[in-house]
Structure 1
């Protein structure tokens, strides 16, 4: 697709989506409500420790409550929380985003109240909790739709910059929800990228696109790269960084021993190595392969 066609497609996409775009109406919450809902932010209600996301009950309804603290956001805490609120409000009408329900301003930093959804059982040791490969494909498709919405449906292209498993949830219907917009960056109208200073590069190391990490340039490809790593995770059931157990693959480590950079040990590099050596099936999740092989293929015209 050439640049002219791509530009035309973008305009049509934005025009089409602008009709369905809705801004969430947030309900203000009181401090006592939040404390009671989370049992004083009890550790037993933690969903994601480093993200400070808690389960809670508000008005007999299960919710997720996000409390940001300085030691997670490190810097510009209020700015990041406000960005999370702003972007969440813009996309909450879309089914593939975690819906923002309300906010409490009676704490040191705003506390967000979101619809309830579960973390994806990504790398659980319990085989009964592993996601079937069809569900993994469904999640990947729905997150791709969410990312495309951020890139094309709003007044300005929004780059998430932190697409990774901890920012993906599943509701009771099995619908994937993208969340975590505190690091979102808007690309100015008419531009295709934005550049941040080297010390402002943020995100989850395992999923950072190389060019963004090295130069601070943010483009749509920044999210595309992260999504690609996420896909690899789904098929290998491994996080972005090579697991410690992978140190047995000495040839991989020898190749990168002079670079002194953990980014070069990401699973994307390891997969490339296995592809080159014709050992791709050694990388795939054996449970997923087993379930795929056991499925009865559908009749097609090629079977005749």
Structure 2
């Protein structure tokens, strides 16, 4: 009798799980389809779907051994005998618009996957509470083993090409909104891949900006353009600013600039009683004072050869143009060629 009860309970549990997966597939699929229609102008943009069982098997049920990055839901996996990245979510705390953000990540990823400088989307799974992305395998941009100066400039140039593509390849300008190291990956050939489109927004056709709710400004503070933070206005320059800070952090690492500015109150600002630390302001000060060598990443500094000082200066000057500290702010399509000459 107990054996029969156990079988009955297992069957009910299995049926309940199957029903829940079906509901998730339908609900998630509805939101994803709406986003695809909105961003792709109704054009067909097929995305392969994987089952929950395939994802669970690929990651060994999201085993800690396959968990790539602490505090983030990114896992190594194997699907159809090929290594893949499984992106389960990008937030530790779910919010009311989490589903919409994940669907936006899937939608934009599907639109740019044919480009070599974006992390390729292989498909998604809609059967979990929140959709899961399946992407080509690549490694997160390294910090512990910093590449040499030439490699850093190459990576930056490739990311500039990717962002330029977002800004120019579609009828409506796509603004990434979250350009920062955690959204950059490197494949086995050292090619930089941009990812993480959860916050991406479209500028209406024929317009140069779009306004979002200033109360819901999101992203990593140091990478956020001042105008966006204060007014919620999004333009191409929102990405250009973030890219400028990325250039700075590739060469110096935030911690080095912070360590060397602790006693300089002129570089610390308070907004609404909260200390606001701006890396780009500090980098500008060091460049102006000719103290660049003090803030360079040691591994970058040690790898430098003849003429590299001028290359570093050229990259930093471009970064300060991007953040509005020097001269006119360039467009992203100008930043890539500028790096080619660095």
User: What's 1:236 paired with?
Assistant: 252
Residues 24/115 of structure 1: CA separation in 2 closer, same or farther (3 Å cut): farther
Equivalent position SS for 1:27: coil
TM-score scaled by length of structure 2: 0.72
1:280, CA displacement in angstroms? Answer: 2.0
1:278, CA displacement in angstroms? Answer: 2.6
Equivalent pair of 1:50/1:72 in contact (CA under 8 Å): no
**Separation in structure 1 between the aligned mates of residue 70 and residue 95 of structure 2, nearest angstrom:** 15
Structure number with larger C-alpha Rg: 2
Match of 1:154 among 152, 170, 175: 170
* 1:130-149 to 2 correspondences below 5 Å: 130-149=146-165
Are positions 1:205 and 2:221 aligned together? yes
**Separation in structure 2 between the aligned mates of residue 157 and residue 233 of structure 1, nearest angstrom:** 26
**Separation in structure 2 between the aligned mates of residue 97 and residue 140 of structure 1, nearest angstrom:** 13
1:177, CA displacement in angstroms? Answer: 0.4
Residues 279/81 of structure 1: CA separation in 2 closer, same or farther (3 Å cut): same
Mark the runs of 5 or more structure 1 residues left unpaired by the alignment.
1-21, 297-304
Residues 295/55 of structure 1: CA separation in 2 closer, same or farther (3 Å cut): farther
**Separation in structure 2 between the aligned mates of residue 69 and residue 37 of structure 1, nearest angstrom:** 19
Equivalent position SS for 1:151: helix
* 1:108-187 to 2 correspondences below 5 Å: 108-122=129-143, 124=144, 129-187=145-203
Equivalent pair of 2:268/2:275 in contact (CA under 8 Å): no
1:262, CA displacement in angstroms? Answer: 4.1
**Separation in structure 2 between the aligned mates of residue 143 and residue 94 of structure 1, nearest angstrom:** 11
User: What's 2:333 paired with?
Assistant: none
Equivalent position SS for 2:124: strand
Equivalent pair of 1:24/1:101 in contact (CA under 8 Å): no
1:74, CA displacement in angstroms? Answer: 3.1
TM-score scaled by length of structure 1: 0.81
Mark the runs of 5 or more structure 2 residues left unpaired by the alignment.
1-42, 309-342
1:48, CA displacement in angstroms? Answer: 2.8
Equivalent pair of 2:158/2:192 in contact (CA under 8 Å): yes
* 1:147-296 to 2 correspondences below 5 Å: 147-238=163-254, 243=258, 245-246=259-260, 249-251=262-264, 253=265, 255-256=267-268, 258-259=270-271, 260-263=273-276, 265-293=277-305
Equivalent pair of 1:159/1:219 in contact (CA under 8 Å): yes
* 1:72-91 to 2 correspondences below 5 Å: 72=93, 74-91=95-112
User: What's 1:7 paired with?
Assistant: none
Q: Number of aligned pairs? A: 266
**Separation in structure 2 between the aligned mates of residue 274 and residue 295 of structure 1, nearest angstrom:** 20
